Amino acid sequence: MLDRPSEQIIPADDQWGGATDAEVINYIENWVGKYYPEMSPIYKRGIAAVQKASNRLYSKNFQDVEFAAQTEFLKKMEAGLLDGQDWTEIAQKYFFEEIRVRSMQGFYGPPRHGGNKNYMSYKMCGLEMPHLLGQNRY
């Protein structure tokens, strides 16, 4: 489900793919599952709260909501304006920032952690490759 808010954070455009194409969700799964397993309960609570809030607003799970409506949803979430009764287990602004930061890391960070497939963001930024002359250690 987190691939949808990630795609909102870094959407595809005419020239370059977004978080989904770069497989940012792999990075987030690695980050939670491999590097920070203690964050797993937080993510579970956050995802549950997103779905509750989405169902309250749109009578649908977040992933089934239209793209534009998802954008509005996340703008409210970023500002802490969603209905507070869905966010008793976790702060909505905190969880939004969590998704935002992880998505940025997954899209713009090195591919070795699961995201940035085929160096998509590096190519997008015109970054010369390899970073290290003589060898590429990724």
Partner 1 sequence: MVAKQLATAGIKCVVLERGQWPDYEDSPNDELINQRTHAIRPLHYMDRRKFVNPDKPWLTDPFLNAACVESGTVTYGAMAWRFMPQDFKLHTLYPHISGSALADWPITYDELEPFYEQAEYEIGVAGDQRDNPYAPPRKKDFPMPAFEYNREDKDVLIPAIKRMGFHPYPIPMLRNSVRYNGRAACLRNHTCCGYICPCDAKNGTQNTVIPVAMKTGNCEIRTGAIAVQIAMQGRLAVGVRYYDLEQRLHYQPASIVVSAAGSSGSAKLLLMSKSDMFPNGLGNNSDMVGRCVNSHHYTGAFGLFDRDVSAEQGPGATVAFSDLNHIPEKKIFTGVLCSEFYALPWMRTQIRPPKSPMWGAEHKRFQRENYRRILRLFGRCRRFRCTKPGLCCIRRGRTPLAYRCLLPRGQTSFDGGTGAHYVQRGRGRPEGGRGKTDMADKRQAKPQILQRRRPAPVVFLQNGRRS
Residues that bind partner 1 (CB under 8 A): 8-11, 13, 15-16, 18, 31, 35-36, 71, 74, 78, 100, 103-105, 108-110, 112-113, 121-122, 124-128, 131-135, 137-138
Residue number with CB closer to partner 1 (55 or 113) = 113
SS3 53: helix
- In whole angstroms, give the CA distance from residue 119 to residue 100: 19
> At a CB cut-off of 8 Å and minimum separation 6, what does 39 contact?
31, 32
Are the beta carbons of 67 and 3 closer than 8 angstroms?
Answer: no
Output the smallest distance, CB 36 to partner 1, in A.
7
Beta carbon of residue 88, minimum distance to partner 1 (angstroms, whole number): 25
For 94, the token pair is 């905190």
Nearest residue (CB) to partner 1, 11 versus 55: 11
Is residue 73 classed as helix, strand or coil in its secondary structure? helix
Instruction: Tell me how far, at minimum, the Cβ of 81 lies from partner 1, in Å.
Output: 16
Any residues with CB less than 8 A from the CB of 137 and at least 6 apart, and which?
none
We find the least distance from the C-beta atom of residue 92 to partner 1, in angstroms, to be 15
Q: Which is nearer to partner 1, 11 or 89 (CB)?
A: 11
Nearer to partner 1, 52 or 114 (CB): 114
